[in-house]
Amino acid sequence: MTLEITQRQGIVVWLYSLRQVKQLRRYGLVYYTSKRMKYVYLYVDMADAETVMQRLKKLHYVKRVTPSERPAIDMDFSNRVGRSDQEIADAAELEE
C-alpha cells in the first residue's frame, strides 16, 4: 500500500468582510485567515484550482483571487548552499 500525495495549489482570497470565511470551507482547506488585511489563504487540489478560482471570483463578497506562485519557484537549493550572494548573481547573469 503506497500513500499518494495529492498536489495542492494555494489561493489567496481577498474579502470585503470576514463574515463569510466559514462559507469558503466548501471550496478547500482554509489554512490561514488575516483579520487585519482581510484575506484567506486556501488550499485546493491542483486539478481543481482553475475551476475553484473562477467560482470564487463570482462570489459577491470576494474582492480579488490570486494563485500562489510557489509551484513555479524552483525549490532545489543544492547548487546555492555555501556560495556568496555575488557568486549567485553572477551565475544568474550567465544563465540569461
Q: Please state which architecture CATH assigns to domain 8-95.
A: 2-Layer Sandwich (3.30)
What are the boundaries of each domain within the chain? 8-95
- For position 45, what pLDDT does the model report? 95
Candidate from 21-30, 72-81, 87-96 with smallest mean pLDDT: 72-81
Instruction: Round the average pLDDT of the chain to a whole number and report it.
Output: 88
Size of the chain, expressed as the number of residues it contains: 96
According to DSSP, the residues that pair with 41 across neighbouring strands are 12, 32
**Burial code of 56-91, b = ≥16 C-beta within 10 A, e = fewer?**
beeeeebeebeebeeeeeeeeeeeeeeeeeeeeeee
Lowest-pLDDT range of 52-56, 62-66, 69-73:
69-73
Q: Angle at CA 85, nearest 5°, toward 83 and 90? A: 90
> Which of 3-12, 32-41, 73-82 reaches the highest mean pLDDT?
32-41
d(C-alpha 3, C-alpha 40), whole Å: 29
d(CA 13, CA 41): 6
pLDDT, one tens digit per residue, over 23-53 is 999 999 999 999 999 999 999 999 999 999 9
Rg, C-alpha atoms of the chain: 18
